[in-house]
Amino acid sequence: MQPELSVAICTFNRAPLLRKCLDGLTEQTTQQEKLQVIVVDNNSSDDTAAVTTEYQTALPGLTYVFEEKQGLSRARNRAITEASAPIIIFIDDDAIPYADWAEKFIEAFEQFPDCAIIGGESEPMFEADRPDWLDDDLLKLYSCGLCYSDDYHRLQGKEWLVECNLGYRIESLKAAGGFSERLGRNGSLLLSGDGAVNELIAHAGGKMLYTPYAKVKHLVPTSRLSPKWIAQRKFWGGVTEGVVEEYLKEGTGETEPWRDLFLPSKIHEWEGIVNLPTDSNFKGHLTRLFNVGYLLAKTGMISI
């Protein structure tokens, strides 16, 4: 029996978190025979392999794959080669799916056959108290809280989907060449952009949809609940934007105009940032950091 969904978890040295994600998959309302769960071990040195083995009985469709070359995009591409279902859903190892998560993805792909990409909602699961300065807008930097609609919503303009809870018709993903291995997380580097393949799929005519019904709880660790981490995330978000524009130019032949840049008057003002003041200018500071990263990437002054 061919599974209806291939569920891919790419993981690196986070066996305790992986265990919670796998626990969530064992509790799905969808029959396990409809699911293929693929754990891509991206060269872990902990007990990821042993933890995965524990779930062979509870998850009969479980596949364990060891991918030596590190990088999230590399791991995701390996998952694509292992997938046997027509739809593949990527869930982060630090996310826990709701019990009806797989069922809701199956329903969405059946109801919207023209959609090549469908993404769900990601609710924050805070390891510590949420800081007062962390509003709903900044929460999106943790891949949480899209909240576009209470019902299905076709993406418009610059709307995007969180990559920790994202599904594809696998034929469309393969036709776009999979995930660019120049992009995406690798080690501690906060470069992102692995979801830039979505733009190539959309350029080829694939539609994108948001479903609030396929939900996960996504860990927000204490180590990231600081202005410093937010600052780093925004800076690398700018770098990512510049790199992604070049990637899309190669794939589509279209060139995005440079964004309007709101920059600090002196670059050295941003050197050695340890703590960013969470005052009324906080978001302005973050915008400047984003734009500095973008400028460095577009001018080739930062190497990836």
pLDDT per residue over 248-291, tens digit each? 777 666 666 666 666 655 555 554 344 466 666 788 778 888 88
303 in a domain, yes or no?
A: no
Same-domain check for residues 270 and 152:
no
Same-domain check for residues 130 and 271:
no
Same-domain check for residues 122 and 239:
no
For 69, other C-beta atoms within 10 Å of its C-beta total: 12
Same-domain check for residues 157 and 249:
no
Q: Please count the structural domains in the chain.
A: 2
- Of 30, 27, 156, 25, nearest in space to 93 by CA: 25
What are the tokens at 70?
């590190």
CA dist., res. 24 & res. 202, Å (int):
31
Task: Write out the residue range of the structural domain in which residue 274 sits.
Answer: 227-298
Please tell me the pTM assigned to this model. 0.89
Amino acid identity of 7? V
pLDDT digits (tens, 9 = 90+) for 141-167: 999 999 999 999 999 888 999 999 999
Same-domain check for residues 148 and 21:
yes
* Last-in-domain residue among 224, 247, 265: 224
CA dist., res. 189 & res. 200, Å (int):
24
Amino acid identity of 187? G
For 8, other C-beta atoms within 10 Å of its C-beta total: 25
Same-domain check for residues 100 and 209:
yes
Same-domain check for residues 84 and 176:
yes
pLDDT digits (tens, 9 = 90+) for 121-132: 999 999 999 999
pLDDT digits (tens, 9 = 90+) for 37-91: 999 999 999 999 999 999 999 999 999 999 999 999 999 999 999 999 999 999 9
* Last-in-domain residue among 224, 242, 258: 224
* Last-in-domain residue among 180, 209, 224: 224
